[in-house]
Amino acid sequence: MRTSLWIPIAMFVAGLALVGTAVATGEADVSLFIVFPVFSGSSLVFLLGILLIILSFIVGFVLMATDNERSEERTEAASEAMSSGEPRSRTEYGGVVLLGPIPIAFGSNKRVALIMLVVGVILAIVVIGMLLASV
């Protein structure tokens, strides 16, 4: 993973931390609608957390779009390297979808899918913990 792609991840985690802080201090509330957590608040900490989360998606999409241009250059270099006999690198991917508190993980191989499942379980525990903390 490119170093610049860690920036939106760090922004997202910081946003989650700010929202969690707002919930823990009572400046924001957490409700449960069917199985989906709903956060609401009016403090500056909560607002900054939500803004950081939204900005992390925007910055991530922009960085991935600009990275596509660079990947085309790398693809050309890789095709030249293949013709010279160098081994090809393999791209791995994965993700997790939370349906309420239930994580659904996927990946290009078992190792990546297992890592995504662990991330999903941790996120589900954090969400459930925040819900229980607000009660």
pLDDT value at position 48? 93
What is the per-residue pLDDT across 65-86, written as a single tens digit (0 to 9) for each? 777 666 666 666 666 656 665 5
Q: Give CA–CA dist 101/34, Å, rounded.
A: 11
The size of the chain, in residues, is 135
pLDDT value at position 52? 92
Instruction: Decide if 53 contacts 12 (C-beta within 8 A).
Output: yes
pLDDT value at position 38? 83
Q: Is 23 exposed, middle or buried (0-12, 13-18, 19+ CB in 10 A)?
A: buried
> What pTM, to 2 d.p., does this model score?
0.52
pLDDT value at position 14? 94
pLDDT < 70 positions in the chain: 1-3, 68-89
Q: How far, rounded to the nearest angstrom, does the alpha carbon of residue 25 sit from its chain's CA centroid?
A: 24
Q: Please name every residue paired with 38 in a beta bridge, in sequence order, or none if there are none.
A: 31
pLDDT value at position 80? 64
Q: What is the DSSP letter of 102?
A: E
Q: Please name every residue paired with 29 in a beta bridge, in sequence order, or none if there are none.
A: 40
Instruction: Quickly tell me which residue has 């609401």 as its tokens.
Output: 40
